[in-house]
Chains A and B, each alone.
Chain A
Amino acid sequence: MSTIWLFFVFFLRKLSGLGASASWLCSRLPGRFRSVAITVCLVVTWEVSIGGDMFRRVLGKTLGFLGYTVQYGCIAHCAFEYIGEFVACSGPSMEPTITSHDVVFSERLSRHLCRIEKGDIVIAKSPFDPHMNICKRVIGLEGDKICTSGPSDVFKTHQYVPKGHVWLEGDNLRNSTDSRSYGPVPYALIRGRVCLKLWPPHNFGALNQSPTGRIVKRSD
């Protein structure tokens, strides 16, 4: 049956080369799709030969539209991936610097060029759930000695940040799960550095320094 259809298509007048090769390709598909695909090819070829110019123009416009969509989609991807993105924060762990439902702009260049520094607020993927993002401040970089005991403890405990990791803490120390509970975070999980607060408008601008005084000072 499919062979008969193939011959019919092949000898159709004003047959475009595209229709013939499309039908040949369709004959290679498994049985289920074969009849559907061949019917579609026939319809398209018939339309092209009968409808002529107008169909070709519509087809050309559609393909052009698709091409532009793909191109602008790729440019948008590159912009969000390598320049910056807008982030809406939620949760109380960065108060008073960032409150819930604030919108900030996080830039990606520092992360790709490895220029994240102590005191920066970063957006990172959560180590325990890769679909969730966390927004914390960098307290220590690799090699730093972090004091992990609380202020009320008598015996101070310290921990060194391993190579390739960072120590993150929220500004609201009382209400934040951060590296004090889950340990140092690999640098590669960081997505970007928060540089600008955009919403609410009365708080527009750069972000404040750390209010906690926990940032490790390098002694050398």
Chain B
Amino acid sequence: MEGADLAVKVLSTWLTLVVGLIVLPSAFGLSLGISEFYMKILVKTLEWATLRIEKGAPNESVLKNSASVGIIQRDESPMEKGLSGLRGRVFELSDVFYFSKKGLEAIVEDEVTQRFSSEELVSWNLLTRTNVNFQYISPKLTMVWVLGVLIRYCFLLPLRIKNWLSELVHLTCCRICVRSLSGTIHYHNKQYRPQKGGICVANHTSPIDVLILTTDGCYAMVGQVHGGLMGIIQRAMVKACPHVWFERSEMKDRHLVTKRLREHVADKKKLPILIFPEGTCINNTSVMMFKKGSFEIGGTIYPVAIKYNPQFGDAFWNSSKYGMVSYLLRIMTSWAIVCDVWYMPPMTREEGEDAVQFANRVKSAIAVQGGLTELPWDGGLKRAKVKDTFKEEQQKNYSKMIVGNGSPNLELD
């Protein structure tokens, strides 16, 4: 049948193209400059799309600001100012105003829950999954979007699946993998790259973080043993470099964990350990509380800041919403993964500084370097409820205000 013949011919030419242009150069570590060219075209297309959207919706240009500015202007006044009083003032019926206003503000816009979902983009990048509030503008834009879908599913996706499958088998070809994701990674300050016997800490956005860091160096990984697809990958990786894997139940025994890590760090010949102290994936707009465990081990900490460019594809893994395979598919049908990695000068715990303070210091440094917001909230809030102690603290503050250790304002009958 002619149709089938033609299809076979097309497929075979396409495959040879793929092999010739992608796999071979990667194997030799060469670059044909196609990635860069592709990125340039992509950026131009997205700019054009943005302009079309802006032209088509002149009154709605405010929508552009909403993603970056927020819904409301929050009143950040602390309890003392909000209740308009000094210490030792009495209870008034209007006190409830302050709490209700704070409560409503939190309902409309809070700092924490937005970190556990994908970042909203200011301008659309032609991926429907990041389409927030963008409306139909013109047939041309639709055409471009359709073209985009075709390219991403019929061209980029099969390319990446093929490359990714081969990568599972030949794990040392990390470069192919990164190339298959059309990854453009800029490494800054390579002189501060983590050395042997140190601990590397970084902010966590997705499992790809690991890939990105290992492309530029070998690390020992601390992590949980996963089942399924991740488990296979993990076991394959163990063969390449010596890793330290923990069962989930072992993780609960903190002393055991610390002991094993200490042993690893003490041996100067062992690879640096890679740890993500946030404990979970955050959406790359902020850095949340660093768990102090990794900072108690001692040794030198090498902080690394990773910031993805959301314009080209959303790397955040919302593990409570998407499984691994779904996540990978999303990644492989995005435009590209573009990120910046900053290696930072090593830090050690200072005299008189406890683990928590040290963790906060490192966290601040990473947040400043990556241009991320710093939050004191625990990343575990993604799944767990907030602790009651915080509420009790608020209650305590309020009590101090209206009573103030038995002040004379209290009338006792």
A and B form one complex? no
**B residues near A, CB below 8 A?**
none
**A residues near B, CB below 8 A?**
none
